[in-house]
Amino acid sequence: MARAVSGGDEGQALVVPWRQMPLLAVVAVAVTGAVQAAIAATDLPATSNVPAAAITWSVVIGSAVVLAGALVGRLPSWVRSVLVAAGLTGTATAVLALPLHGTAYYFGGLVSDQQFRVQYLTRLTDSPALSDMNYADLPPFYPAGWFWLGGRIAAAAGVDPWVAYKPIAVATVALMPVVVWCVWSRLIGGRTAVAIAAVTLVAGVALSATEPYSWPAAALLPPAAVAFAQVVAAPRAATGRLLAVGVFVGAAGSSYTLYGFFAALLVVVLAALAVVSARADRSAVLRRALRDGGIVAAVGLVVALPAWAPFLLEALRSGVGPNAAARFLPADSARLPDVLGADPWRLLLTLGVLGLVARICASWGRRPGVLAALGVTVACAYAWYAASTLALAGGTTLLAFRMESILVLGLATAGVLVLAELAPPAAAQAARRGWPARRVAVAGGLLTALAATQVLTDRIGDLDEGVEAAWTTPYPSGANARGEVDRGREEGWSDELAAAIDRRTGERPRDTVVLTTNYSMLSFHPYRGFQQITRHYANPLADYEERAEFVAELARSGSTAELLSRLDDAPWAPPTAFVFRIEDDGLHLRLSRDTFPAAPNVEFYDVVFPAELFDGPEFDSVVVGEYLVAVRRT
């Protein structure tokens, strides 16, 4: 009976063969699509604990499926792999999709950063050409990788991008545990890779669910570090792994610049440490490190260039302005992540801390090289927090809070490896006591399922604010997911404003530049905005401050003729459509200024235009609710 649960040798069990990976990809995509469709088709109450109950038992069932695949050795290997892939993907999908069962929005609705993320997807759904998320005639500064792929999926499916964002985001987070499992199984083999995939699932829900496009790079960074460390320390080159690490670094840079840069830095640090720690023939190790690092750098640049070349070329041609994106200091950047504690999740992280600290003292365990690479990854993440604080002296930060995902995942992975070291002596002790191996495995599985259920249900609770925003943000047609209409929310006016603009321009939205106080409209419709809502989202090529001053000059125009003259003399593509909020003292346009290091780091203010500037025949104007839409006649 022991063989029924052993699954064979730990080093070889559940190592995913290359030939199985296409099958597992199909299974994972099919599972996340089917689970999302089933949840969307289920009529659940808008406000009840039914979704919470469904999440709990989804985790229980998913854990049972994964454990069956990991432990039941009598099943064919491909069946076991399919069970693991289906269990991981189905669990992650259910945990994320159930709280959003009745809303078309993803976590956060269209509040704060989600507004520009949906705007970017809208832009790249409208056209596959790389372009800035907001401004006309500018290449993108924000990496387009995930948004471009999502835009192609939304366009092919014929789904409005603001509706497509949720299923694409859920699928992105839900598919990563399977990808991570496949990668780790090639690096360390055994069931340990399944456990690492499970903690990746938890970390994705807990830390990166609201920023799904960053999660593939973050989730794959620890195994990429391990893969490079293994190669650079080996006497013979492993070109295939170096190429894979290079592709990862380039893809990370094409989807999330911060993680791409961190990955490149990590490669340099690992290569340097390999040279410094060499005990003999250090010059040979140095040559090997330079060769391996060079291969990764060359491949990474080739992969990243398609996304970055348009911006770099334009920056060389016209110069680049200041980048305000990093001028942000939330509380999570001002303190270190909370990784020590007595709840199941923090106990695992604490084990990881202890394991990595012990690795500093001695080369212990069956995988000391893996622990060393994870230790370097975690140490670099902590160093990033320190460097980000030092950067305050220069009037910026390094967005340290974004390193929490990498740091926590690195510690969780180390914690799994520590538990893997403790498992054999624990099993031996149980055998000496005469405990049947099958019962021990079942007991361990039940304990794992219970811990996974508690941790995941706790972590999904951290997303309650984002869930509430998804339910209460109005759709562009007016009502929100609960059928409530709040005419004071700008999102609900978007379709009416867009219809008024389109009737008067007769152009495609992508050909119309709009100066608008209703920035949500730009997330639903692919107009080009004359100004971004905040400097922190703005392209460094866009002359944000100069545009803000230009808008103020427009408002100071003494006549319609003077206004038109200033528009004609604009150094940028001028707006042809205007959306203002009507107030007693004139037409209001909302702009913002950078107030870093204050929190919040932006201050909104209104520029007021005299209403008579748009009363003449030069503009075709109409009142839409509390807004005035004015389109310049040609």
Q: List pLDDT tens digits, range 116-156.
A: 999 999 999 999 999 999 999 999 999 999 999 999 999 99
Nearest-angstrom CA–CA distance, 176 and 89? 8
485: which DSSP letter?
Answer: B
Rounded to whole angstroms, what are the CA distances from 552 to 19, 232, 591, 614?
Answer: 62, 57, 10, 16
* CA–CA gap between residue 143 and residue 149 (Å, rounded): 12
pLDDT at 6 over 60: no
What values do phi and psi take at 597, rounded to 5? -95, 20
Q: pTM score, two decimals? A: 0.93
Half-sphere exposure of 547 (CA within 13 A, CB side): 24
Is residue 54 within 8 Å of 115, Cβ to Cβ? no
Question: Is the per-residue pLDDT at 11 higher than 60?
Answer: no
Q: Helices 161-188 and 215-232 meet at what angle, rounded to 10? A: 20
d(CA 163, CA 161) in angstroms, rounded, equals 5
Q: Is the pLDDT of residue 417 over 60?
A: yes
342-376 burial string, b = 16+ CB within 10 Å, else e?
eebbbebbbbbbebbeebeeeeebebeebbbbbbb
Secondary structure (3-state) at 621: strand
Rounded distance, CA 391 to CA 388, Å? 5
pLDDT digits (tens, 9 = 90+) for 74-88: 889 899 999 999 999
What count of Cα atoms within 13 Å lies in the side-chain half-sphere of residue 323? 10
Report pLDDT for 430: 75
The answer to whether the CB of 613 falls within 8 A of the CB of 560 is yes
Q: How far apart are the first and last CA of the chain?
A: 83
What DSSP assignment string belongs to 539-570? -TTS-HHHHHHHHHHHHT-SSHHHHHHHHHT-
> Tens digit of pLDDT for each residue in 347-400?
999 999 999 999 998 888 889 999 999 999 999 999 999 999 999 999 999 999
Res 8: pLDDT: 37
Which DSSP letter does residue 208 get?
I
- Tell me how far apart the alpha carbons of residues 613 and 624 are, in angstroms, rounded to a whole number: 18
The pLDDT assigned to 320 comes to 86
| Dist CA 218 CA 204 (whole Å) | 9
Greater confidence, 33 or 447?
Answer: 33
- If DSSP codes are grouped into helix, strand and coil, which group holds residue 72? coil
Alpha-carbon distance of 213 to 528, in angstroms, equals 23
Mean pLDDT of the chain: 92
Q: Mind spelling out the 3-state secondary structure of 157-188?
A: HCCCHHHHHHHHHHHHHHHHHHHHHHHHHHHH
Residue 408 has what pLDDT?
A: 96
Q: Which amino acid is at 542?
A: A
pLDDT of residue 427: 73
Distance CA 188, CA 363 (A): 17
431 CB-near residues (< 8 Å, 6+ apart): 437
Judged by average pLDDT, the poorest of 35-39, 147-151, 229-233 is: 229-233
- Say what the pLDDT of residue 456 is: 85
Contact 599, 549 (CB under 8 A): no
Cα-based angle 600, 601, 607 (whole degrees, multiple of 5): 100
Place of tokens 């693991």: 84
Residue (of 159, 160, 133) closest to 146 by Cα position:
133
Give the Cα separation of 130 and 126 in Å (integer): 11
pLDDT in tens, 469-501: 999 999 999 999 999 999 899 999 999 999 999
In this predicted structure, the answer to whether residue 1 has a pLDDT above a threshold of 50 is no
3-state secondary structure (DSSP) of residue 598: coil
193: pLDDT strictly greater than 80: yes
Q: Are strands 586-594 and 577-583 parallel, antiparallel or unpaired?
A: antiparallel
Helix (H) or strand (E) holding 244: helix 239-255
Alpha carbon distance 2, 441 (integer Å):
9
535 contacts: CB under 8 Å, gap ≥ 6: 324, 544, 545, 592, 593, 594, 602
pLDDT in tens, 567-616: 999 999 999 999 999 999 999 999 999 999 988 889 999 999 999 999 99
Cα 366 to chain centroid distance, Å, stands at: 33
- The length of the chain is 634
When mean pLDDT is compared over 37-51, 187-201, 372-386, 417-431, the highest value belongs to: 372-386
Residue 13: pLDDT band with limits 50, 70, 90: low
Residue 167 preceded by cis peptide, ω within 30: no
**Ramachandran quadrant class, 483 (left: phi over 0; alpha: psi -120 to 50; beta: rest):** left
Q: Look at residue 7 and tell me whether its pLDDT is greater than 70.
A: no
User: Based on the number of CB atoms within 10 Å of its own CB, is 320 exposed (0-12), middle (13-18) or buried (19 or more)?
Assistant: middle
